[in-house]
A = this chain, B = another copy of it.
Amino acid sequence: MNEAVVLTSERILEVTEDVLRRYGLAKATVVDVARALDVSHGSVYRHFPSKASLREAVAKRWLERVSKPLAQIAAEPGPAPVKLERWLRELFDAKHKRVCEDPEMFATYLTLAREACSVVKAHKQDLIAQVEGIIAEGVAQGAFDVADPKIAAAAIFDATRSFHHPAHADEWADCTCSTRVDAVLTLLLRGLAAR
């Protein structure tokens, strides 16, 4: 009758994150995860066909925690330029906070993401689609002058890589970073604006 002992994929993922936090990415094994769940490691393989797929699922959960709050901003009403700026700043803040508050876990997730590149690609497509939505809205409002919102969205994503791509995380602590964000956002919003 004890519901807690039911082994679900969700529970495995939660415990796997704990194990990764405790042991680190390099040392965490499927056996460790099984031990933390108090089951045999064979049981874990009943829910995930391989260690790689388990890690991929952890990466996916992590990326979803980034994209959900952004989707909410994208769905709100209001002027597109303000919304785009808010959306981008939220994206940067989410990333910067994660790396500042728990750098080790950030490094762990980063490596997981490198391995699960198809998951990352889907995440990127999701984010770009959200930006595309905001830009199309801006065009409809007469605020933006853009030939192709899809291409413009990809350009916005490319042009802000310095502030959201983990390869540049070591610069995010830099005190000039906020000024640099402001400068790029100003430039990009001017570039999109109807005149």
Show the binding face of A for B, using Cβ within 8 Å.
151-152, 154-156, 158-163, 165, 167-168, 179-180, 183-184, 186-192, 195
In the complex the two chains form, is A184's CB within 8 Å of B161's CB? no
Q: Which of B158, B187, B191 contacts A162 (CB 8 A)?
A: B158
A159 — which chain B residues lie within 8 A by C-beta?
A: 159-160, 162, 184, 187-188
In the complex the two chains form, is A195's CB within 8 Å of B195's CB? yes
Q: Which residue of B lies closest to A190 (CB)?
A: B191
Q: A165 vs B159: C-alpha distance in the bound complex, in angstroms?
A: 12
Q: Tell which of A159, A188, A195 has the most Cβ of chain B within 10 Å.
A: A159
Q: A167 vs B195: C-alpha distance in the bound complex, in angstroms?
A: 36
27 contacts between A and B (CB under 8 A): A151-B183, A152-B183, A152-B187, A154-B180, A154-B183, A155-B180, A155-B184, A156-B187, A158-B162, A158-B184, A159-B160, A159-B184, A159-B187, A161-B162, A161-B165, A161-B168, A165-B168, A167-B167, A167-B168, A187-B188, A187-B191, A187-B192, A189-B191, A190-B190, A190-B191, A190-B192, A195-B195
